[in-house]
A and B are shown apart, each in its own frame.
Chain A
């Protein structure tokens, strides 16, 4: 066998031009598979991010019943134990505590209903994007106890700007008494999402707890995981494990059931497209290999004429297919890596001119993954060998006279 491998390796370098043409065709196919896999991963991340990264988080923990009723009394049960449990989870990248209550916000000019959210600025900054989409002012200032960050539409409605005062009214947990507090606008965010820009107002959680009479409690723990695929799986045991003692831990897929269905459709559509793409690549390989082998039947005839056994010719052809595959895989993997790597760094700017200039920068980033350089090269190798078997059999059956005559 070693002999045939050596011969095959020499053969493919004998006619460099042909090898190069065939190799490039297969390499381009492989590079495309790697890149498209990365692209689809990027598209998935993008969809998940657009759903979770603004504010929601990839998962949330509440007291059971809070989501349905938004009842101020329903704070997360046994908070210290829950937090300890989260800290010991290595898949959880970070989490942040929030209080949430529906209330009223008023300025000298107007009054509106508001979703009043108490946040911990430090951890919140890393989980949600509020600090990235500030249209005016700053996120919470050090020592700015009464700082408030609110949505741009809400600010416009209230006719307030930076430094202006607003008054928030909420009902306290327990007795339902109204609590009122003055805040100063330190920042105005604009997500370009109506629901958020028009109804969210953020304050420091300590202040919010004081108003709501919560004493260290929280209504919501928003979670971010190291790998967003972890959170996208509603069957993950993580959710059950942390849904104890009257609490419920839910993935974003349960928080946004409608979007989850849309994404299921998207994955299905993409899966179908990936199969088509693979089909095109496979087609290319079949054709390239057949072409480069059938054109050389004369040569194989000569081999037979000088006494090579049919099994020898078969082995030689399969070895050549393998050698070509190895060469293409090296080229294709490098090409795929460079292409993906560069675009993963720079991002793909897809925004049309329609809404250009508004919103924060949204780019599509392909995502590199080790598996891309194992699965696809292996598939290409196996496939090339398999495809090589057919011409190998044909060449093994050649009668010498036929082969030598035919090529004229």
Chain B
């Protein structure tokens, strides 16, 4: 009976209902889009930044991160690959060998860092192939070809076709020395590392350094950024090897992580503000509509409605309105997010840099972008209507009927 009355009341005053409903609808929808966009775009930025350089997770000997050394290796990369294959959420991985060396070309020489990698795996993992700005990728094992950083190419005055002599210490203590041919020059986006990097085929690097099958790091990418901590834990658990450690990007890209944390904190604060604005908006509409209708409630009381029933009536009305508004808002808001996630917003035409794609920004459809606005909007609508509802219940028929 009360429910039917509430229904009728909502439909009777169409303009007022539409207005109240619109406030809730607008606040809810925009909040859904806000969260979806904030999450999506920030994950987008972090993903582009980490994936292309160092991956999301690196598996290393446990003290390698703090103090890298040629001798601290992952001894059985095959076994690690086997484990990675079984962990859900792992997208791709690529083993690397890293060592300091001296490089000479013509009469120029420089201290450099050898990075041995598997070009095909690396292309899948960190889009290595897209970073080449001149020339081409190195060939397969035994090709003795090298891709050098752009800054290093300037320092050595070397380019594709030039010969490069590398001199370093091998893992067996001997002096390692060999000639390589430069086939390409790359720009990773990090000028500092581009001044020192020489990329070789993984097996060539292992031969040069007498490492056998051992590698220094295995770079892992994960299907979605949110799963990184869980995947890192899963890797540690499934490897079950106390000498190895899975280091997530939050640790090895720490200063970037902290800068992003500050930004995310800012977003959270903005979210709180939005919730407050929406709450105040709902309060304001409901309060006003109840205050303006005191006469009506007086009439109800006069014909014998109990205070409790009046309170229930007001709350039911608000609930009906909110549910309708939230339902429509969810359709529109999540729809907009799905659209923005699918197509993204282009803000610069084809801007790529060091393999990163900067042109398009995407939204994200996740549970949080629906639940947070849902809870806050419904809770604030009900809580906020409680005051006017109780007031409506207390209306004194004689006094309010006289009011105009």
Which residues from chain A sit less than 8 Å from chain B, CB to CB? 17-18, 21-22, 24-25, 28-29, 32, 35-36, 39-40, 42-43, 46-47, 50-51, 68-70, 102, 113, 153, 156-157, 191-195, 255, 257-258, 261-262, 264-266, 268-269, 272-273, 276-277, 279-281, 283-284, 287-288, 290-292, 294-295, 298, 348, 350-352, 354-355, 359, 362, 364
Contact = CB atoms under 8 A, between A and B. Distances in A.
Contacts of B347: 268
Interface residues of B, number: 73
Nearest to B293: A295
A21 B288 contact: yes
Contacts of B255: 50, 191-193
A261 B19 contact: no
B263 A18 contact: no
Given A22-B284, A70-B155, A350-B261, 18 more contacts: A25-B280, A50-B255, A113-B100, A193-B254, A255-B191, A262-B49, A264-B358, A268-B345, A269-B42, A277-B274, A280-B27, A283-B26, A287-B20, A287-B26, A295-B289, A295-B292, A359-B258, A362-B262
Contacts of B44: 265
Contacts of A191: 255
B30 interface: yes
B45 A354 contact: no
Nearest to A104: B111
B354 interface: yes
A175 to B, nearest CB: 16
B288 A291 contact: yes
B87 interface: no
A46 B155 contact: no
Nearest to B27: A280
B291 interface: yes
Interface of B: 15-16, 19-20, 22-23, 26-27, 30-31, 33-34, 37-38, 41-42, 44-45, 48-49, 66-67, 100, 111, 151, 154-155, 189-192, 195, 250, 252, 254-256, 258-259, 261-267, 269-270, 273-274, 276-278, 280-281, 283-285, 287-289, 291-292, 345, 347-348, 351, 353-354, 356, 358, 361, 404
A43 B190 CA distance: 23
Contact of A281 (B16, B258, B277): B277
B284 A272 contact: no
B361 A269 contact: yes
A68 B34 contact: no
B37 A272 contact: yes
Nearest first, the 9 closest Cβ-Cβ pairs linking A and B are: A350-B265, A269-B41, A258-B189, A283-B26, A295-B292, A25-B284, A68-B154, A287-B23, A50-B259
B404 A298 contact: yes
Given A261-B356, A272-B345, A276-B33, A283 B23 contact: yes
A42 B288 contact: no
B265 A364 contact: yes
A68 B270 CA distance: 42
19 contacts: A17-B291, A29-B280, A156-B67, A258-B49, A258-B189, A258-B190, A258-B354, A258-B356, A264-B358, A273-B267, A277-B274, A279-B30, A280-B30, A284-B277, A292-B288, A294-B15, A350-B261, A350-B262, A355-B254
B288 A18 contact: yes
Contacts of A18: 288, 291
A32 B361 contact: no
Contacts of A265: 41, 44-45, 48, 358, 361
Given A22-B284, A291-B285, A257 B353 contact: yes
Given A36-B273, A265-B358, A102 B111 contact: yes
Residue among A47, A70, A262, A288 with max Cβ neighbours from chain B (10 Å): A262
Residue among A51, A69, A258 with max Cβ neighbours from chain B (10 Å): A258
B37 A280 contact: no
Nearest to B296: A408
Contacts of A281: 277
A21 B287 contact: yes
A40 B67 contact: no
Given A261-B353, A268-B347, A364-B266, A291 B284 contact: yes
Contacts, number: 193
Contacts of B258: 50, 355, 359, 362
A257 B283 CA distance: 48
A273 B37 contact: yes
Contacts of A269: 37-38, 41-42, 45, 361
Contacts of B254: 192-194, 355
A269 B267 CA distance: 11
Given A266-B263, A284-B280, A295-B289, A157 B273 contact: no
Contacts of B19: 287, 290-291, 294
A348 B154 CA distance: 44
Nearest to B193: A195
Nearest to B49: A262
Contact of A258 (B266, B288, B353): B353
B318 to A, nearest CB: 14
Nearest to A27: B280
A264 B41 CA distance: 12
A228 B67 CA distance: 36
A359 B258 CA distance: 10
Contacts of A156: 67
Contact of A354 (B151, B250, B285): B250
Residue among A281, A291, A348 with max Cβ neighbours from chain B (10 Å): A291
A43 B263 contact: yes
Given A69-B154, A102-B111, A273-B38, A257 B191 contact: yes
A28 B347 CA distance: 32
B5 to A, nearest CB: 18
Residue among A28, A40, A280 with max Cβ neighbours from chain B (10 Å): A280
Contacts of A362: 258, 262
B115 to A, nearest CB: 16
A257 to B, nearest CB: 7
Contact of B277 (A46, A153, A280): A280
A32 B15 contact: no
Given A157-B67, A193-B255, A28 B292 contact: no
Residue among B19, B45, B254, B259 with max Cβ neighbours from chain A (10 Å): B259
A194 B65 CA distance: 10
Contact of B274 (A21, A255, A261, A280): A280
Given A268-B347, A288-B284, A276 B34 contact: yes
B252 to A, nearest CB: 8
Contacts of A276: 30, 33-34, 37
Contacts of B285: 287-288, 291
A43 B266 contact: yes
Contact of B269 (A29, A262, A284, A348): A348
A229 to B, nearest CB: 18
Contacts of B154: 68-69
Given A291-B19, A295-B288, A272 B353 contact: no
A32 B266 contact: no
Contacts of B259: 46-47, 50-51
A280 B358 CA distance: 28
